[in-house]
């Protein structure tokens, strides 16, 4: 389907004054966070906006602006490359836009994690913005924060311990129960309707294929069926800037996470599909894994702590199969939840030493 056909679902007022939703997202991002026009946040976001993170949710734009000022001082040369924007209409006056960003910066000023280290870091993040009548009314933000700490040479377990008590996003204890914030409720059929609202009546087969992939491979543990959903040359870009290629390595990357949370179950919470001549068909997904830290001691001594892992994937499809996945979740949030579980938990020996 052409971009013009997909735009026909939307009133131009939904993404004005730009030509399309992609340009709306990238232009506003650059105006606010690259050119440092932080005051324009009030023009871009609705006053009642809900911002969901892996640590809970916030409604206060003053906190967003204050946190952004601190981040800009800490990382003054921060660059954000627009890897992709996958957008889809949600009625005639709204759209949802999973935005994948490649970030890089030098730690040149004081930050939540401590004084300047003058070291470089890179990571990827995902921001799913629900835009209605030209304003962001809801957003889900997921960052690979472990990669930042890795670049800065900092102890991720020490940072996670602090965040478990007082999140810089919330200014309060993390909200991680199943009925709180971004973890609340269940999605019956994301092919039809997810947390961003009702989907257009198209691309149902592609959406069902992605849902089936999560159910068959992740939830039913049929790792051999990766080949049914993915091309032989599948590539996965994931946390800590890891990159794996081909089916066998892709299987192991899935199993790596499930080894730590062997009772983990995946739920697809939102699906967004966009097809374009230049980039092909892409499917953006918000997913949630619920489980307990009861398997391999990947994150220190096992303590059976309940964990919610909020994540996002961008899939690129060709000839009905997945050829590439970008899979992002926040391991620092995961570690913080494990630490809060207590019960004799200790950091991995290499870190503790």
State pLDDT tens for residues 192-203.
999 999 999 999
The answer to whether residue 353 scores a pLDDT higher than 50 is no
Share of the chain above pLDDT 90, in %: 76
- CA dist 4 and 230 (Å) reads 29
The answer to whether residue 350 scores a pLDDT higher than 70 is no
- Report the pLDDT value the prediction gives residue 6, as an integer from 0 to 100: 79
- CA dist 150 and 170 (Å) reads 23
Tokens read off for 213: 């992939």
For CATH 3.10.450.50, the residue range(s) in the chain are 3-145, 181-352
Tokens read off for 124: 């990827």
CATH topology assigned to domain 3-145: Nuclear Transport Factor 2; Chain: A, (3.10.450)
Under the banding of pLDDT at 50, 70 and 90, the label for residue 29 is very high
State pLDDT tens for residues 72-98.
999 999 887 899 999 999 999 999 999
Inter-axis angle of helices 331-340 and 156-165, to 10 degrees? Answer: 60
- Report the pLDDT value the prediction gives residue 230, as an integer from 0 to 100: 98
Computed over every residue of the chain, the mean pLDDT equals: 91
Q: Which residue has the higher pLDDT, 28 or 4?
A: 28
Q: DSSP E strands: which ranges in the chain?
A: 45-53, 56-58, 79-85, 88-89, 94-106, 120-132, 135-143, 193-194, 197-198, 230-237, 243-245, 265-276, 280-292, 306-318, 321-329
- Report the pLDDT value the prediction gives residue 345, as an integer from 0 to 100: 87
The kind and range of the H/E element at 12 are none
- Report the pLDDT value the prediction gives residue 352, as an integer from 0 to 100: 44
Chain-centroid distance of CA 196 in Å reads 14
Burial of 61 (0-12, 13-18, 19+ CB in 10 A): middle
- CA dist 131 and 192 (Å) reads 19
Q: Going by DSSP bridges, is the β-strand pair 135-143/45-53 parallel, antiparallel, or unpaired?
A: parallel
- CA dist 104 and 317 (Å) reads 27
Coil, strand or helix: which one is 160? helix
- Report the pLDDT value the prediction gives residue 172, as an integer from 0 to 100: 55
State pLDDT tens for residues 216-252.
999 999 999 999 999 999 999 999 999 999 999 999 9
- Report the pLDDT value the prediction gives residue 287, as an integer from 0 to 100: 97
Provide the Cα torsion 95, 266, 295, 251; round to 10°.
-90
Tokens read off for 79: 């660059």
Tell me the C-alpha to C-alpha distance, in Å, between residue 346 and each of 23, 174, 332, 341, 349.
47, 20, 15, 11, 8
CB 326 within 8 A of CB 283: no
Tokens read off for 95: 């759209």
- Report the pLDDT value the prediction gives residue 319, as an integer from 0 to 100: 94
What's the whole-number mean pLDDT along residues 100-124?
94
The answer to whether residue 176 scores a pLDDT higher than 80 is no
- Report the pLDDT value the prediction gives residue 55, as an integer from 0 to 100: 82
CATH topology assigned to domain 181-352: Nuclear Transport Factor 2; Chain: A, (3.10.450)
State pLDDT tens for residues 147-164.
999 999 999 999 999 888
State pLDDT tens for residues 55-75.
877 767 887 888 889 999 999
| 222 Cβ neighbours under 8 A, 6+ residues apart | 216
- CA dist 121 and 103 (Å) reads 8
State pLDDT tens for residues 320-333.
999 999 999 999 99
What's the whole-number mean pLDDT along residues 8-13?
90
- Report the pLDDT value the prediction gives residue 178, as an integer from 0 to 100: 61
- Report the pLDDT value the prediction gives residue 180, as an integer from 0 to 100: 59
Coil, strand or helix: which one is 256? helix
């Amino acid at each position: 389907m052409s971009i013009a056909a997909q735009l026909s679902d939307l009133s131009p007022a939904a993404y004005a004054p730009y030509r399309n939703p992609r340009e709306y997202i990238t232009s506003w991002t650059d105006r606010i966070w690259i050119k440092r026009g932080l005051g324009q946040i009030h023009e871009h976001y609705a006053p009642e906006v809900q911002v969901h993170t892996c640590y809970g949710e916030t409604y206060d734009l003053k906190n967003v602006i204050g946190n952004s000022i601190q981040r800009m001082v800490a990382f003054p040369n921060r660059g954000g490359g627009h890897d992709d924007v996958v957008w889809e209409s949600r009625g005639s006056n709204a759209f949802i836009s999973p935005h994948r960003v490649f970030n890089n910066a030098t730690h040149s000023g004081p930050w939540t994690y401590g004084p300047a280290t003058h070291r470089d870091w890179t990571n990827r993040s995902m921001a799913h913005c629900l835009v209605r009548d030209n304003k962001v009314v809801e957003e889900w933000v997921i960052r690979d924060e472990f990669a930042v700490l890795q670049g800065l040479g900092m102890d991720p377990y020490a940072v996670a311990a602090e965040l478990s008590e007082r999140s810089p996003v919330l200014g309060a204890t993390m909200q991680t129960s199943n009925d709180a914030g971004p973890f609340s409720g269940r999605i019956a059929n994301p092919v039809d309707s997810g947390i961003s609202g009702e989907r257009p009546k198209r691309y149902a087969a592609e959406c069902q294929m992605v849902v089936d992939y999560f159910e068959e491979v992740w939830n039913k543990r049929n790792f051999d069926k990766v080949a049914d959903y993915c091309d032989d040359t599948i590539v996965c870009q994931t946390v800590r800037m890891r990159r794996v290629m081909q089916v066998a390595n892709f299987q192991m990357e899935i199993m790596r996470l499930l080894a730590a949370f062997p009772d983990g179950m995946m739920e697809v919470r939102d699906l967004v599909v966009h097809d374009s001549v230049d980039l092909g068909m892409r499917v953006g997904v918000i997913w949630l894994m619920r489980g307990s830290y009861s398997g391999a001691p990947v994150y220190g001594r096992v303590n059976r702590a309940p964990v919610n892992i909020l994540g996002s994937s961008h899939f690129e499809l060709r000839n009905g199969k997945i050829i590439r996945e970008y899979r992002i979740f926040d391991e620092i949030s995961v570690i913080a939840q494990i630490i809060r579980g207590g019960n004799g938990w200790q950091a991995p020996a290499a870190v503790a030493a």
